[in-house]
Structure 1
Amino acid sequence: MARLFPLLPFKVDETHWSWAARMAAFHIRGSVNTFLRDLGLDPFLVSLGQPDEVTRLCNLAGQEPETVLRNTPIQHIRRVYRLGDQTLIDSLCPPRDLRFCPACLAEDDAAACAVGQDTSIHRRERLIWRMKPIRICPVHALSLIRRDRPEGSEETGVFGGSVPETTPMLKDIAVNTEPCPKSPLQSYIAGRIGGRSGPAWLDDQPLEQAIRATKLLGTALAFEPYTFIDDLSNKERDAASALGWRFTSRGEHGIRRAFRLLQARGAPKGLMTRRSIQNSFGNLLDDAHYPGGHAPIRRLLKEHIARLFTAK
C-alpha cells in the first residue's frame, strides 16, 4: 500500500478532522475534501468518524489508528455520538459549534513560524473544545471563543473562514482577556473523555447525566430552587457547577447532604408539607417527575422525600 510521505503526526489532543485538514494543508496545500478524495476516501464518512474510513486514512498516512480513533466522535445514531466508552448527545458536542482558545492557536502559529510553515498546517482543533460544557481552556484559563462552524467545512477544513485572526490578533485577544477560575466540573469532563477516572459515583453515570445532576444541584443551592440554568450568566453557571461539584463528587452521601440543606432552607421551621417540599427542591422535583429526568438523582430525591413523610 502506498503511503503519504512524510508523516504529519497526529497530536494526541486534537480531533481526527483537525488532523485530516492539517494533512491536506501539508501535502497538497488545498482543501481536505480534495485531499481525501485523491486518497480514495469519502470525506463525508471521514467527517462522521466512520471507523473503517478513519482507519484507512491512518494506514495511508502511516499513523497508528488506535490513538486517532480514541479522539474520533463516531456517529452512533441520529444526534448521538460515541467517543471511546462515552455516549455523547449532540447537545454536549453540537456539530455546528466551533470553539477555540486564542492563546492555544497563537502557540500553534508560533510553532508554524519556527519551522517556516503555513499556520494551517499547525492550527489544530483540540478535542475538548468540541464539548459544550467546557468553556475554559485548561491550559491558559481563558474563556473559549465560540463561532459558527463554517458551512461546507469539508472544503475549508476545521476553522475555514471562521477564525480569520492573524497571530498578532490572537495574541492581542489572549492578553486582553481576563483569566477565569478553573472549573472542577470542566476538569472532570476533560479527564473523563481523556480516559481518566474521577469520583466513582459520577463515573458510574452517563456523562450527560453526571453533568446535568451537578448543574441542577448546584443551581438550586447557589440561587433558588426554581432558578433555570439557562437564565444564568456564564460566571453564575460556573459558580453553580462548582458548588454542585462539592456534593456530587462525594456520591450519594454528598447528594443526600445537599438535599438536607435545601430542605432546611425551604422549611426553616422543620415543618414538611407538600408545598414546603416544592419550595425546597423546585426544579429538582420537576426533573424527578419528568420521564426523561436524571434517574439517579430522581431515585435519591424520591427516597429522601419518602423518608420525610415516613418520619412524620
Structure 2
Amino acid sequence: MPFETATSYTSRLVRRAGAASPSDLCLDFGLDWTAIVRGEATQIRQLVRFGGGDPEALTRWSIEAVGPLVFRIGDDVVPNKTLLRSRLRVCPTCTREDIAYGGLERAYRRMHWNLQAIRTCPDHGRPLLKLPWLEHTFGNYDIVARVDATLPLIERAARVDEVRPFTDYERYLLDRLHGATAVPYLDEMPLALVIRFTEALGLTRIGYREAARDADDGLLYEAGAAGFEVLRHGPDAFLEELRRL
C-alpha cells in the first residue's frame, strides 16, 4: 500500500495467511521477524518474494535501524526519541476507510505515522490516535492485530467531530520524508534538529514557560506551527524574532 512499512506489510500477510503472529509467519518463510522490525533490506526483499509487491518501495518506506537507537526514516537519520516506532498511532478515518475497502487485512501503517512531530492526518485533518501499548513486546508492531483489538476505541475516535489543519510545519516534515526540499537552511539541518529548533521556538512564541519535555501533543502541535511560521522565512526572520523576544 502507499507509504507502507515492512512491519505493517508483514502484519497484513499474517491476516491473509491465517497465521498466529508475525514471528510464526516469518518462521514458516525462513525469515527473522526482529530483522524485519529493524528494517533489514535483505529480509524485506525475501518477504516480498512470498507476498508480492514492490521491494524497493517497501524498503524505502520502512524504518531502518542504522546504529544503537538511531534510525533512517525517508532520507534522514534520526535518534529513537524522534520516532514512535513501537507505539502505534493511526488516523481513525484512514483506518475505517481501509477496513471498509478491504476488511481488517487492508488496515495498514503509513510511514509518516512513525514520526512523532507529525500529529495530524494530512488527508482527513484528524489528530493521530495512539493505540494502547503492549509492554515490552514486538506485538506492538502487528498493526492488524492491534487495530482488531482496539477497534471500538478507533470507531469512537472516528465519530468525534475533531478536525484541525494539517499545519505547514507538518507539511514540511512530510514532504521532507518524501525527498522534497523547501526551506534551504532547514533542509541542510538534521531532521531531529529541525524539529527541536522549531518546537522550542514555537513554545516560546505561544508563551509556554515549562520544560519542553512536559509539553503535551496539543501544545506541541500549536508550537510547531508557531515556530515554523518564523523559520520558513529564513535565518534573518529567526534573528528578528530573537530580537522581538
Q: Does the TM-score normalized on the shorter chain lie above 0.5?
A: yes
Name the residue aligned to 1:160.
Answer: 145
1:15-54 equivalent positions in 2, closer than 5 A: 15-54=5-44
Q: How many residues align?
A: 244
Deviates more, 1:69-78 or 1:93-102: 93-102
Distance across 2 between alignment mates of 1:136 and 1:142? 6
Name stretches of at least 5 consecutive residues in structure 2 with no aligned partner.
Answer: none
How far apart are 1:235 and its partner, in Å?
3.4
* Letter aligned with residue 129 of structure 2: I
Contact 1:33 1:155 in 2 (8 A): no
CA apart distance, 1:159: 4.5
User: 2:19, 2:25 within 8 Å by CA — same for their partners in 1?
Assistant: no
What aligned pairs does 1:36-115 form with structure 2 within 5 A after superposition?
36-112=26-102
* CA contact 2:198–2:224 (8 Å) conserved in 1: yes
**Any residues of structure 2 matched to 1:271-290 within 5 Å, and which?**
none
Q: Residues of 2 paired with 1:186 and 1:125: CA distance? A: 18
Instruction: Assess, with a 3 A threshold, how the Cα gap between structure 1 residues 177 and 67 changes in structure 2: closer, same or farther.
Output: same
Give the Cα separation in 2 of the matches to 1:234 and 1:39: 40
Change (3 A) 1:236 1:155: closer
In structure 2, what is the equivalent of residue 256 of structure 1? 239
Using the alignment, how far apart are the partners of 1:53 and 1:211 within structure 2?
A: 31
Gaps of 5+ in 1: 1-10, 113-117, 263-312
Partner residue of 2:224 out of 224, 230, 241: 241
Structure 1 219/94 Cα, relative in aligned 2: closer, same or farther at 3 Å?
same
How far the C-alpha of 1:198 sits from its partner, in A, is 2.2
Task: Say which one has the larger Rg.
Answer: 1
- Distance in 2 (CA, whole Å) between partners of 1:254 and 1:141 is 29
Point out the more displaced range, 155-164 or 88-97.
155-164
* Aligned counterpart for 2:189 among listed residues 198, 205, 227: 205
Give the TM-score taking structure 2 as reference length: 0.89
Aligned ranges 1:163-312 → 2 under 5 Å: 164-166=149-151, 170-223=154-207, 226-262=209-245
1:15 deviation in Å?
1.1
Secondary structure of 1:97's counterpart equals: coil
Paired residues of 2:99 and 2:106 also in contact (CA < 8 A):
yes
Other-structure match for 2:3: 13
Shift of the 178–227 alpha-carbon distance from structure 1 to 2, 3 Å rule, reads same
Q: Hey, what does 1:115 align to over in structure 2?
A: none
Which whole-Å deviations, capped at 9, do the CAs of 1:209-254 have from their partners, x for residues lacking one? 0111111112222216x54333445433322221211121122122
